[in-house]
Structure 1
Amino acid sequence: MLESKLEVKKEGIILQKSGLGFEVEGVLNPGVIHYGDFIHIFYRAVGKGNYSTIGYCKMKTPFEVAERFDIPVIFPQFEYEVHGVEDPRIVKIDDLFYISYCAYDGVNALGALATSTDLIHWEKKGIIVPQIGYDEFARLAQIKGKINEKYLRYNEHEKIKEKKGKKVLVWDKNVVFFPRKIHGKFHFLHRIKPDIQIVAVKDLEELTPEFWQNYFLHLKEYIVLSPKHKHEVSYIGGGCPPIETSVGWLIIYHGVYDTVKGYVYCACAALLDINNPQKLISRLPYALFKPDHEWELTGEVNNVCFPTGAIVIEDTLYIYYGAADEQIACATVKLSELLNELISNTTHHDK
């Protein structure tokens, strides 16, 4: 497995669980946005029984907490999220803030959306990804020919069709919006294992069952990234919201590989075309960073670096990530050096 050529600095833990009931088991996988005078962090907070809500704190510097709420800002309110709201990502598009998150009902984990004008009051828009059983998904996706056999392995759910009185659906997680419209359309990444797919729509109201049926008929066209290198060979998924740069959209995503001790989650990087983000420009042939500190190697889930939020200050990229599914840490890298390294790995062919 190749080692990183970049100087990535692990800055350590910046947020830990508290004694408060809603986050007594862990804090992890934060959405991060730099707005006004503060860096705003929306993080997954885990209470007893693995019930998740979204907590909030604001930072006056990348590592220094100014204020932290003692109650969650987003919590389960509907049946589709009754067991938890997880792994928020945040962007600002025009005059609205968008938080995409994973809604878990105890059986299915699906991408959902909430919006806000003030970062405090959030209006839920519901599930925005397909609600589709595996059999229908497989039938539609394979009309034009066979798909990667991992789609079957990861999404068939041992052929269980119903659980706890609910229909078992294909899990569609890691919904990550681009921070602006491209050619007048919302764009977001999402993940049905093992690949990262992309959606582009003028209006989110277009995301109907009919839309998704047609989408799956052409699934191969919407796959942006597939597992390729050893550090991501099992599956990949969206991480931080894309960062607009002069050479393309910088994507920090997570890659997963299997070992005798279980899965290892690491941070990866790629570039997508600025005008057509379905087109991959380049990707690092090695992990940007992976678990190697105690707080990443041991925790609620061992061997996890799970990047979900990033900001740029001058030439420094700050990547916030869940460490071992229990704490929130930050890593930094020079943005210019990362982009230069990506450009040197440009590819025009494979995904």
Structure 2
Amino acid sequence: MDDYLIFTPDDVDLARSPLRASLSAETYVLGAFNPGFTRLPGGNLLLMVRVAEALKEPVAGDQVHAIRWADGAYVLDAHPLTAVNMSDPRQFDIGGSPYRMLGLTSMSWLLPVELDPEGRRVLAVHYDRAIAPTRSYQVYGIEDPRITKVGDRWYMTTCSVSPERHSTTLYTSGNALDWTLEGIVLDHQNKDMIFFEGKVGGRFLALTRPLGELYFAYPEGSDYVGGPSINLAQSPDALHWKPIDHPGIRARRGSTSAMKVGGGAQPVLTDTGWLVLYHGVETRAKVGVYRTFWALLDRDEPWKILRLEDEAPLLEANPALTAPIAHQLYLPTEVVFTTGIVEAGDHYIVASGEADLACRITHVAKSRFA
């Protein structure tokens, strides 16, 4: 496999950030990672990079500050230090509520980055087409885009974050560069909604991964363990979704991904079924170890798993890739988070987030999935 970082925090020009129009506080790029990935009509590739832009000095006096979008401008909200836990540099826990409440140390927005057809060179960074908050349900940012082409249109799911809700939102495009916000499509926290690259039975199909405060236990002796898992949903129009009754991909007892599993790249159709690259998490330290595994789903009944490879990972974190920018690492992580796949003849080009910091490209021979 051919592995390299293609876009890092140093590649973001914050002078052209959407925040600059109204925010005077000094910021830096906490991460440029977890990109949506697709091929443009002309043959070039597109990374839709999540840029997490953070305050350089979030603490002032006895207060910590968070960035919020408010009616077309960016403002700072102050929280008393005595009421927060700041052990995680990505967020802080706010006390005094019967529910867990979070504040974010960064504001995420989406940056289109155009690559050559093999994904080896950055050709253009489209700051003029950056996607930033525009609705009250996005006031704390837009995260984790996943792009799928179905027919002649592109569909991009994102996570929109606000005190109102933590929802899944949909953008659509006719060229993968100019996007229209269609609104909320899932009203609950679901970090990994990803459209299949093609319809099944005339309907849109998607991987989902709803999250909750608790999970129920499987009986002793079951092959599975309770926790976040990959489900399936279908829709007549990409806007209105019904979950499929059958379970999808679940964490298996004793596997290295037993902590949780979730969608990664958009499922693509092969001669033998739907190829799904997904992430599995092993419990370790604060964040856990994220690896990329793969499964093959039935072409017509995709809840039927034809093959599941959850022991030997397809991708693992590669510290050699981030060594030149190791000083920018903000957590001791072993994380590779795959977010897109594109065909390229006898191989696939796979996009991932590396260490929650940068964008990684991997060329994987199709024979790897034989």
Q: Same fold (TM over 0.5)?
A: yes
Residue aligned with 1:200, SS = strand
Q: Summarize the Cα distance change of 1:254–1:106 in structure 2 as closer, same or farther, 3 Å threshold.
A: farther
2:136 is aligned with what amino acid? E
1:181 alignment partner in structure 2: 199
1:315 is aligned with what amino acid? D
Taking the TM superposition and a 5 Å limit, the aligned residue runs for 1:1-351 are: 9-17=1-9, 18-20=12-14, 22=17, 24-35=29-40, 36-48=42-54, 49-60=105-116, 61-71=118-128, 73-106=130-163, 108-131=165-188, 171-193=189-211, 194-207=228-241, 215=243, 221-228=245-252, 230-260=255-285, 262-284=287-309, 285-295=311-321, 299-301=329-331, 302-336=333-367, 338-340=368-370
Contact map agreement 1:295 1:324 (CA 8 A) in 2: no
2:272 is aligned with what amino acid? V
Residue aligned with 1:80, SS = helix
Residue aligned with 2:369, SS = helix
Contact map agreement 2:194 2:263 (CA 8 A) in 1: yes
Deviation at 1:107, TM superposition (A): 7.1
CA distance in 2, matches of 1:58, 1:262: 31
Contact map agreement 2:265 2:340 (CA 8 A) in 1: yes
Contact map agreement 1:296 1:304 (CA 8 A) in 2: no
Q: Is the deviation greater in 122-131 or in 21-30?
A: 21-30
1:289 is aligned with what amino acid? L
Deviation at 1:319, TM superposition (A): 1.3
Q: Residues 271-297 of structure 1, C-alpha deviation per residue, up to 9 Å, x if partnerless?
A: 000111111111113221212324469
Deviation at 1:71, TM superposition (A): 4.8
Residue aligned with 1:281, SS = strand
Q: Is the deviation greater in 59-68 or in 258-267?
A: 258-267
CA distance in 2, matches of 1:46, 1:72: 17
Contact map agreement 1:28 1:45 (CA 8 A) in 2: yes
The structure whose residues are more often helix, as a share, is 1
Deviation at 1:190, TM superposition (A): 0.8
Contact map agreement 2:172 2:179 (CA 8 A) in 1: yes
State the structure with more CA Rg.
2
2:232 is aligned with what amino acid? I
Q: Summarize the Cα distance change of 1:230–1:114 in structure 2 as closer, same or farther, 3 Å threshold.
A: same
Deviation at 1:265, TM superposition (A): 0.8
Q: Residues 110-167 of structure 1, C-alpha deviation per residue, up to 9 Å, x if partnerless?
A: 2210111132322112221144xxxxxxxxxxxxxxxxxxxxxxxxxxxxxxxxxxxx
Identity %: 26
CA distance in 1, matches of 2:240, 2:284: 41
CA distance in 1, matches of 2:293, 2:33: 18
Contact map agreement 2:2 2:364 (CA 8 A) in 1: no
Contact map agreement 2:335 2:356 (CA 8 A) in 1: yes
CA distance in 2, matches of 1:71, 1:44: 15
Q: Summarize the Cα distance change of 1:20–1:99 in structure 2 as closer, same or farther, 3 Å threshold.
A: same
1:13 is aligned with what amino acid? L
Q: Summarize the Cα distance change of 1:45–1:260 in structure 2 as closer, same or farther, 3 Å threshold.
A: closer
Q: How many residues align?
A: 282
Q: Which ranges in structure 2 are unaligned for 5 or more consecutive residues?
A: 18-27, 55-104, 212-227
Deviation at 1:106, TM superposition (A): 5.0
CA distance in 2, matches of 1:205, 1:88: 17
Contact map agreement 1:300 1:324 (CA 8 A) in 2: no
Q: Summarize the Cα distance change of 1:261–1:118 in structure 2 as closer, same or farther, 3 Å threshold.
A: closer
1:339 is aligned with what amino acid? F
2:312 is aligned with what amino acid? Y
CA distance in 1, matches of 2:321, 2:235: 40
Residue aligned with 1:173, SS = coil
TM-score (norm: length of structure 1): 0.75
After superposition, the CA RMSD in angstroms is 2.1
Contact map agreement 1:43 1:55 (CA 8 A) in 2: yes
Q: Residues 236-272 of structure 1, C-alpha deviation per residue, up to 9 Å, x if partnerless?
A: 1110001110011100011111114641111110000
Q: Summarize the Cα distance change of 1:247–1:51 in structure 2 as closer, same or farther, 3 Å threshold.
A: same
Q: Is the deviation greater in 181-190 or in 278-287?
A: 278-287
Q: Is the deviation greater in 77-86 or in 19-28?
A: 19-28
2:7 is aligned with what amino acid? L
